[in-house]
Structure 1
């Protein structure tokens, strides 16, 4: 009796193929002890006239003799002595010893997670250990596009097996970040309060422990996995031995003493309370080359896996190697799109897939996003590079459209030309194909991104720019948002200066640029700007300044055409000894140029050397504000 279930009961309810076969034989034997003898006895009794009592005694003798024979011949470990299993089926006995209470079988799990009706299923499997990486968005966008362009399913799976590094609200940060990019997730922990949506969950690996243990138990039962009780000091000693012998470092072959341990040795270790991990018993040959196929790289040759990799940690939590193979199979993933850093583990993952009897999905190992560093290139780092965090781009005010266009341009070399021909068409109509994915890492080019972002904001109407800019400011620049809401008409006029004209200076690349273009229009921010304003040109003395301003305000007319306005400015400047042209300046008869006068006006009116066109800036400020600032 174990866990309230007898050996006979386990025999009767088991779904193992070998038990089913033996169950058939057993009941066939019982059939022979009752039915066939009964028929024979009936015929004999008719001929010889046996009494009922003789018939029953004879039939019981047949039954007892044949039942005893059948039970001993076919079921010595189920009925006669269950402990005998350790001699005839040591791996099965070990599996039952390690996992006595597993509810599922691989067969029952296949029924729980049936094949899907769609041809393409992709996923994004992030770890909730920090902010959402821009590389993760790149992978998600690619995976989502491949799925939905083929009328398939894209799901989110939280790979939280690294419990030591998991952070609070990590999953929310991921789902919120992907939502900002408009990436449509069909299944995953995307419901209210992180509830699962979809029929193939749980979509969080920490909630799938019994599923992984089911498959590990079956691997143990087939001799393809084993418990390893090596201590840290023993592992260190093995590495030192391997280093001296110039052998590959790791636990494998003769360097894995528990690989060949007997059931008695394992039982003794368990009784002693020793901690252990479950390792894959690799069957690879270190002298053999494995040929594996990648959808964009073609056939890849690499050393066959011979390492006995950990499948279950001491805590019972699976490693990525086991978890993703099991999950991709049960969730019916057809295309695994992941970083090329997983190529060295490719052989192991295919070995595990085959050992578990799964059909391997198609693998696509994509090149990473890189950053220029000291004349070379390296991966974008979570620790070193602020732009690795997607929140960096949102804080800066890049539009999602610009970021998506930039990433699609990296994925597909033909996308940029398509966008130029279709500037307002939704990117989701673009026929992205995996054949054009780059094989080498792309440099994350901020200059290129800025160019795309500038085009996107330039394309917006001024109403859209003001509305979306305000929405951004409400989250990232609350003071600016307050002023934009307080002065909506002036804000609109200031943003609209020269927009969508032949001389459009395309002043806005990201929404954070709004502050720099609006701050001198609001009296509250102008006052603080004055403290850091550059000095007036040296040729503009206080006396010259006062005299020019007095004449200029008398002549200024806000309704003048810009060219007329500029001619008037030059002429008034000329009367105060400022040259109107380069030729005039060369004569040496002037104290300065008209540009010096324009800079004086710019600094007095805006406290900044960089402003929108001065003529239109004056119109937006209005005469009252102009006079106030010029006469101060």
Structure 2
């Protein structure tokens, strides 16, 4: 064991004792039963939809219990940090309505950025060294690789432990010699675990679990060669969860194997460990089975995918809540968003992310919104993701509301052609002259109809157009008869060579002229919304094409 003076010389002379931090971050004055939860995203890439899933769970549990939910950015692995990731976190949490109660914008237990908490970690590392619960390790990468090779040859568990931990029981003189020559070192935990030992603990979702105990002397503080040595996740999360007074940690099941190590660290540090709740990961169905939703393979794993597409946040949250607790998926959306999420109702199998189901949920939700609500949401989305749409919506506000009312207002089964805000151009863009793209006579959508016939039909329609006719469709029927179309599909089918088409094809001709597509809402409702002048103009554009 190193003498205290040698240990203290490794740290800043003014480094506070752990007691200073205990006073700086006192226990929270919270009501009995209140849960303090946290999310610890790492700024090494985009926000995974699983991050929103866990944030939603944490926020719901803490707020219902009377405790705060905090976000702590775990950026100790700075070699992998992606520029702009931290700002993206805040934007994603705000979009989905799961902002933190505490973060660096608002909280008394910060900084909430781990790289800004380095002095705190150093105080506890020094304390562990003084109590011989940690030690300096000068093993080189070559030595570690050689040890691993020998372990594999000997068919024993790999790692830095027991006889393989070459600096665990080094003589103080050997350590001092390395320090004198300026050799870089890391600080390792002196694990009390042994090979073959088992550890048991209670998980808030899975109940009593047993796992192989930790035997490895894991690194607590990274290389002293770095000008600002930072801790590893293991130490940082233990210190931060304690000082931030976190009581419940909800995290992915991949961390279950680390619980024995974390419990060892909490005991060594003299802390009461939080309750752990390990959730199953979000999954994706693939041929022959399913797998974890992958950042690398699956675009829908990224929060950006949902934001750019314009899925309403409420619909996504409703869907995620249903994945967390199945009973919530059976409730109406407003009720499901108000009902509590319960850890006892989580399954241990990973729930499947199904975009088709999400789109159906989203369409159902949008169908319940007023035109004003939809227009406001589309405009807000477009300001960020389709800026050319914004001036059109602003200039044609009344037209936009009228278009949104078609087959939506005053009907029992409203249209559900809007599944997300990015669908607006496709579903409603044709109503706006600025966005409408005319279909020329030679377009395949006309089904091979003779161009001269198309032009003549469109010209006659424009010339005799009666916008307020009592039976609006009769004018199409009359024109169809004039230009030789069959009066019904049945009649056309009897002798297709005798006609250019039926009344259906004649109607589609006008539909293409007015909407640019063979699929649209009720044609009279479209014409009524466009107005007589625009209907005539579009028919004449087709006639002249």
Are 2:75 and 1:160 equivalent residues in the alignment? Answer: yes
Aligned to 1:513: 423
* Residue 189 of structure 1, CA deviation: 1.0
Query: After superposition, where does 1:198-217 map in structure 2 within 5 Å?
Result: 198-217=107-126
Paired position in structure 2 for 1:307:
216
Q: Is the 8 A contact 1:121 1:152 kept in 2?
A: yes
Q: CA deviation at 1:198?
A: 2.2
Q: Is the contact made by 1:122 and 1:333 (CA closer than 8 Å) also made in structure 2?
A: yes
Shift of 1:612: 2.6
- 2:483 paired with 1:573: no
Counterpart for residue 264 of structure 1: 173
Residue aligned with 1:384, SS: coil
Please state if 1:445 is matched with 2:445: no
Q: Which runs of 5+ in 1 are unaligned?
A: 1-88, 191-196
Partners of 1:530 and 1:607 within 8 A in 2: no
Higher helix share: 1
Q: Which has the higher contact order (CA 8 A, sep 6+)?
A: 2
Is it true that 1:365 corresponds to 2:278 in the alignment?
Answer: yes
SS at match of 2:480: helix
Q: Is the 8 A contact 2:61 2:340 kept in 1?
A: no
| Residue 332 of structure 1: aligned partner | 245
Q: Distance in 1 between matches of 2:500 and 2:462?
A: 21
Q: Distance in 2 between matches of 1:373 and 1:213?
A: 46
Evaluate the alpha carbon distance shift between residue 164 and residue 626 of structure 1 in structure 2; reply closer, same or farther with a 3 A threshold: same
Q: Distance in 1 between matches of 2:169 and 2:5?
A: 15
Report which stretch shifted further, 519-528 or 596-605: 519-528
Task: Map residues 107-506 of structure 1 onto 2, 5 A cutoff.
Answer: 107-118=19-30, 119-190=34-105, 197-314=106-223, 315=226, 316-418=229-331, 420=332, 423-425=333-335, 427=337, 429-500=338-409, 501-502=411-412, 504-506=414-416
Question: Quick check: 1:534–1:607 contact (8 Å CA) kept in 2?
Answer: no
Q: Which residue of 2 aligns with 1:18?
A: none
Gaps of 5+ in 2: none
Contact map agreement 1:579 1:585 (CA 8 A) in 2: yes
Aligned counterpart, 2:446: 536
1:505 CA drift (Å): 2.6
CA distance in 1, matches of 2:490, 2:438: 39
- Contact 1:139/1:338 (<8 A) preserved: yes
Q: Judging changes above 3 Å, is the alpha-carbon distance between structure 1 residues 369 and 532 closer, same or farther for their aligned structure 2 residues? A: farther
* CA drift at 1:272: 1.0
- Cα pair 2:242 2:272 within 8 Å, conserved: yes
Q: Which has the larger radius of gyration?
A: 1
Q: Give deviations 1:141-177, integer Å, cap 9, x for gaps.
A: 1101000011111111111101111233332221122
The whole-number CA distance in structure 2 between the counterparts of 1:236 and 1:605 is 72
1:290–1:347 CA contact under 8 A, matched in 2: yes
SS in 2 for 1:306: coil
Structure 1 residue 403: deviation in Å?
Answer: 1.1
Q: Quick one: distance in 2 between partners of 1:171 and 1:280?
A: 30
Distance 1:155 1:533, change over 3 A: farther
Q: 1:529 to 1:332 in 2, by over 3 A?
A: farther
Which residue in 1 is equivalent to 2:435? 525
How far the C-alpha of 1:520 sits from its partner, in A, is 2.2
SS in 2 for 1:371: strand
How far is the alpha carbon of 1:575 from its aligned partner? 4.5
Alpha-carbon deviation of 1:462?
1.1
Cα distance 1:533–1:484, how it changes in 2: closer, same or farther (>3 A)? farther
Once structures 1 and 2 are overlaid, which stretch shifts more, 613-622 or 272-281?
Answer: 613-622
Q: Aligned partners of 2:154, 2:442: CA distance in 1, in Å? A: 69
Q: Secondary structure at the match of 1:481?
A: helix
Question: Given the superposition, is the C-alpha separation of residues 136 and 221 from structure 1 closer, same or farther in structure 2, using an over 3 Å criterion?
Answer: same
Picking from 583, 597, 609, the partner of 2:490 is: 583
Quickly say closer, same or farther: Cα 1:532–1:149, change in 2 above 3 A. Answer: farther
Deviation at 1:284, TM superposition (A): 0.7
1:32 aligns with: none
**Structure 2 CA distance for partners of 1:274 and 1:569, relative to 1, 3 Å:** same
Deviation string 1:492-519 (CA, Å, 9 cap, x unpaired) is: 2222211131353311111111101233
Asked whether the equivalents of residues 461 and 539 of structure 2 are also in contact (C-alpha less than 8 Å), the reply is no
Tell me which moved more, 275-284 or 591-600.
Answer: 591-600
Deviation (angstroms), 1:248: 1.3
Q: Does 1:613 align with 2:522?
A: yes
Question: How far off its partner does 1:255 sit?
Answer: 0.4
SS of alignment partner, residue 107 of structure 2: coil
Q: Which of 86, 90, 96 lines up with 2:8 in the alignment? A: 96
Separation in 2 of the partners of 1:478 and 1:246? 62
TM-score by length of 2: 0.92
In structure 1, what is the Cα distance between the partners aligned to 2:37 and 2:134?
29
Per-residue deviation, 1:441: 1.2
Q: TM-score, normalised by structure 1?
A: 0.79
